[in-house]
Structure 1
Amino acid sequence: MTTTFSITDIPALDDRSLRADLEALLEDAVNSGASVGYHAPLAPHWKRAFWDGVAGLLTGGAHRLLVARGPEGELLGSVQLSLCTKPNGAHRAEVQKLLVFTRCRRSGVARRLMEALEETARGLGRSLLVLDTLKDDSGEPFYEATGWHWAGRIPGYTVEADGAFHDTVLFYKTL
């Protein structure tokens, strides 16, 4: 698996090729069971609508998108940072949608994306990050292993593909 890759902060989603790659990334994540708001199989309109939403958030300036690319420029993964815009929250941000292609998992891509995201947050004056993940999902031990602190559990937060309600776990990290 690729161990050489770069992380880029994407200011706008106007590159059609990147947009197609991001849609494929979301589809891969959903079809492999990731709890990112959608159920498999992911319909094409959901892929477009999701990234249209992200594109709109990027133009507002309070949202960041980081992507990891391999040595040939191929997309490996992405993560988002949503900056709190309220006066009492100018020190915090929320991590959203850490996505890594299944073929690239366990190769350091997610860890490097999170490190770059934390550095981006620091550069923007953010000192507190929060995120949520599905209880008992692979994300939970990953976040614990990378220095995140368990903050609590919300029962029945999502309805997963099995039709059952599932809990989510909240994490935070002080930078």
Structure 2
Amino acid sequence: MAPNAMAGIAIRPVLADEMMRRLDEFGAVLLACVADGASVGFVEPFGATDATDYWRRKVLPAVRGGEVVILVAEMEGRILGTVQLDHDTMPNQRHRAEVRKLLVHPDFRRRGIARALMAEIETHARRLARSLLTLDTRSGDAAEPLYRDLGFDVAGMIPGYCRDTRSARLDATTLMYKRL
């Protein structure tokens, strides 16, 4: 990564009203990632309406309810990446949160954006008094070594956990955690 790869890129939280206004932009990042083969829960065919609907139906209500924190990586007003922190846990789990959908638009990868998003999501987790983060990633994906580099440990793998984005193949997922 070049020394100034993050120059001009800001990482910040987004509240529900702004998210609502920018649903198409969130959808565009998700659509680009899925088209690039990201295993983030969706399979092709997957279009712009599907991507926007995900944010509108699944994420926006949780952001409005204060159950999920959404961060964006942004440059010149364009969303380059995003990550979610789901801290809507049961009473015996108030010490943990789940990191979900770390997405960086394929045109902006290898610039440190994913690392910056993850560092900031950890900051938000600490503010919420969360001492354990969990996540899952398709086994063998490029994100797996990134998460290891960020201090996440492997809890285990589940074979046949998710369907491939483009084919009927079932892939394993790696469950990971990090103590803060």
Would the TM-score normalized by the shorter structure come out above 0.5?
Answer: yes
What is the TM-score normalised by the length of structure 2?
0.91
Q: Over aligned residue pairs, what C-alpha RMSD do you find?
A: 1.5
Structure 1: which 5+ residue stretches go unaligned?
Answer: none
Instruction: Pick the aligned partner of 2:143 from 139, 142, 153.
Output: 139
Please tell me whether residue 60 in structure 1 is matched to residue 53 in structure 2.
no
How many corresponding residue pairs?
Answer: 174
Overall identity of the aligned pairs, in %: 41
- CA contact 1:13–1:55 (8 Å) conserved in 2: no
Please tell me whether residue 29 in structure 1 is matched to residue 3 in structure 2.
no
Instruction: Pick the aligned partner of 1:162 from 150, 159, 167.
Output: 167
Matched position secondary structure for 1:58: helix
Q: How does 1:67-146 map to 2 (within 5 A)?
A: 67-70=72-75, 72-146=76-150
Structure 2: which 5+ residue stretches go unaligned?
Answer: none
- CA contact 1:84–1:92 (8 Å) conserved in 2: no
Query: Aligned partner of 1:40: which letter?
Result: E
- CA contact 1:148–1:172 (8 Å) conserved in 2: yes
Matched position secondary structure for 2:41: coil
**Structure 1 runs of 4+ off > 4 angstroms?**
13-17
Tell me by how many angstroms 1:40 deviates: 3.2
The residue aligned with 2:6 is 3
Matched position secondary structure for 1:42: coil
- CA contact 2:20–2:60 (8 Å) conserved in 1: no
